[in-house]
Amino acid sequence: MDNKTIFHETTKYMPGGVNSPVRSYKNIGITPPVIKSGKGAVIIDEEGKEYIDFVLAWGPMLLGHSDEDVVRAIKETAENAIAFGAPTKAELEMAKFLCDNLENIEMVRMVNSGTEATMSAVRLARGYTKKNKIIKFAGCYHGHFDGFLVEAGSGVLTNSIPGSPGVPTDNIKNTLIGEYNNIENLKGLFDKYGDDIACVVIEPVAGNMGVIKAEEEFMEALRELCDKYGALLIFDEVMSGFRVAFEGAQSLYRVKPDLVTYAKIMGGGLPCGAYGGKKEIMEHLAPSGDVYQAGTMSGNPIVMAAGLATLSKIKKNREEYYNKINCLGDKLEKGLLKIAKEKGIPLVINRCGGMFTLFFTKLKEVKTYNDVKTCDSEIFIKYFKHMLANGINIAPSQFEAIFLSAAHTEEHVAKFLKTFSTFEL
Ligand SMILES: Cc1ncc(COP(=O)(O)O)c(C=O)c1O
């Protein structure tokens, strides 16, 4: 069966033919390739067409697809341990790895996704502070938990959904929306609601409105205001963790978070998540404390094995991998800007290590969500179709990131640039 036939058949059984909205390419107006296999930086669809993959499962595959060490860890573990719903040594190893290697993590709780990690961290912050409100920033995405579906990024933004039907107004009445990189706006929110703010949750390097890095002064103001009003600061590092640097975005700022959430890379491509932080806060979780959060599959042995194999390999080769990814990213960024200039394509690129976004805008720089909204989606759609038709797999949205892995090569970058050079407005 060809891609189209499989996809159309799937729409009979699954809403929109997908298990996560952005995969459907609805905003682009085409059907997506149906992917059969992947090795390294290359994926192959059901028709046998190859693509150099810059989506990497939306971030997780930093080692590339089906890395041999990760595959071995999964196979070996599955021989004897699939799921127990009981304590295992694998959990200890993963928890120890995270606490030993990440500066602000003294204790962790494993979960099954980024949504679960961030939603649970918010519950813990509310339980700990005994306050109700949260601040999130317009354009940031923290998963599909009710309280986050206001002015969210990622698929919510791609499909122009400001929130979501099915989310009762009561569930978002305690969600305050801040403006990313706007200190005055943040102060205003704390002035007005400071006594009841449990936490601020932020993507320190945003990836869900396209890549935008929070400014140092903004982060410092955020920390000061949280301290002044007794609110917790939560870094959502689901995307940036182990991606922008081994220690994540936390290592790029002087400011330290109280809680941090992870998923994507830490699971090596399997369903995984974690949240962690100061021991004194984490011990409020049941059973040591009274904030309830649980999961049948949390800390699953195969997931832990895949995650540990991934993280240990990254740690062992960290210099080589992050240098390589940075160099390839730099080449791509410079090359794309040069081509765009020659061709008169309006383009700004924001890059943080191995994640970057092409913003098709006439602005000189993109620093806020309002800047992002100036992008020309028609140009994006044309560009996307051109790249995909020529074997370059990128996320089907102006508001997502392009990812690089340790498996990408100079040739892959050259092919990206060559393909972009034949794109006509
Ligand atoms: C920053 C951030 N937080 C949370 C999530 C939700 O993670 P998941 O899709 O694993 O639930 C995402 C997903 O892309 C994300 O990028």
Q: Which of 110, 104, 36 is nearest to 299 (CA)?
A: 110
Instruction: Tell me, yes or no, whether 46 and 146 share the same domain.
Output: no
Q: For residues 378-400, b (16+ Cβ closer than 10 Å) or e, as one string?
A: ebbbbbbbebbebebbbbbbbbb
Confidence at residue 171, expressed as pLDDT on a 0 to 100 scale: 87
Instruction: Give me ligand 1 centre to Cα 418, in Å.
Output: 32
- Ligand 1 probe mutation, 238, 244, 272, 352, most atoms within 8 A of CB: 238
Instruction: Tell me, yes or no, whether 341 and 375 share the same domain.
Output: yes
Q: What is d(CA 403, CA 278) in angstroms, rounded to the nearest whole number?
A: 30
Residue 155 CA, distance from chain mean position? 12
Question: What residue has token string 């990814």?
Answer: 325
Instruction: Tell me, yes or no, whether 246 and 328 share the same domain.
Output: no
Confidence at residue 32, expressed as pLDDT on a 0 to 100 scale: 98
Instruction: Tell me, yes or no, whether 145 and 115 share the same domain.
Output: yes
Instruction: Tell me, yes or no, whether 380 and 416 share the same domain.
Output: yes
Q: Which of 191, 189, 215, 194 is nearest to 204 (CA)?
A: 215
**pLDDT tens digit string along 370-399?**
999 999 999 999 999 999 999 999 999 999
- Atom index in ligand 1 nearest the CA of residue 114 equals 7
Q: What is d(CA 118, CA 114) in angstroms, rounded to the nearest whole number?
A: 6
Residue 113 beta carbon below 6 angstroms from any ligand 1 atom: yes
Q: Which residues are catalytic?
A: 141, 236, 264
63: pLDDT strictly greater than 70: yes
Residue 67 beta carbon below 6 angstroms from any ligand 1 atom: no
Q: Mean pLDDT across the stretch 274-278? A: 98
Pairing verdict, β 355-359 and 42-45: unpaired
Confidence at residue 165, expressed as pLDDT on a 0 to 100 scale: 85
Instruction: Tell me, yes or no, whether 116 and 197 share the same domain.
Output: yes
Instruction: Tell me, yes or no, whether 47 and 123 share the same domain.
Output: no
Query: In the listed set 275, 299, 316, which residue is the last one of a domain according to the structure?
Result: 316
Q: Look at ligand 1, atom 3, and give the residue with the nearest C-alpha.
A: 142
CATH number of 8's domain: 3.90.1150.10
Confidence at residue 170, expressed as pLDDT on a 0 to 100 scale: 86
161: pLDDT strictly greater than 60: no
* Confidence label for 222 from pLDDT (cuts 50, 70 and 90): very high
Total domains present in the chain: 2
Residue 372 CA, distance from chain mean position? 17
**pLDDT tens digit string along 321-374?**
999 999 999 999 999 999 999 999 999 999 999 999 999 999 999 999 999 999
Instruction: Give me ligand 1 centre to Cα 234, in Å.
Output: 14
Instruction: Tell me, yes or no, whether 232 and 302 share the same domain.
Output: yes
With a CB cutoff of 8 Å and minimum separation 6, the contacts of 282 are 106, 107, 108, 109, 124, 276
Instruction: Give me ligand 1 centre to Cα 220, in Å.
Output: 24
**pLDDT tens digit string along 238-263?**
999 999 999 999 999 999 999 999 99
Confidence at residue 62, expressed as pLDDT on a 0 to 100 scale: 98
Instruction: Tell me, yes or no, whether 290 and 156 share the same domain.
Output: yes
C-beta separation of 384 from 400 below 8 A: no
Instruction: Tell me, yes or no, whether 372 and 292 share the same domain.
Output: no
**pLDDT tens digit string along 198-218?**
999 999 999 999 999 999 999
Instruction: Tell me, yes or no, whether 245 and 155 share the same domain.
Output: yes
* Confidence label for 93 from pLDDT (cuts 50, 70 and 90): very high
Instruction: Tell me, yes or no, whether 274 and 284 share the same domain.
Output: yes
Confidence at residue 389, expressed as pLDDT on a 0 to 100 scale: 98
Confidence at residue 160, expressed as pLDDT on a 0 to 100 scale: 56
Tell me the percentage of the chain whose pLDDT exceeds 70: 98
CATH number of 302's domain: 3.40.640.10
12: pLDDT strictly greater than 80: yes
Q: Which domain holds residue 368?
A: 3-66+317-421
Confidence at residue 208, expressed as pLDDT on a 0 to 100 scale: 96
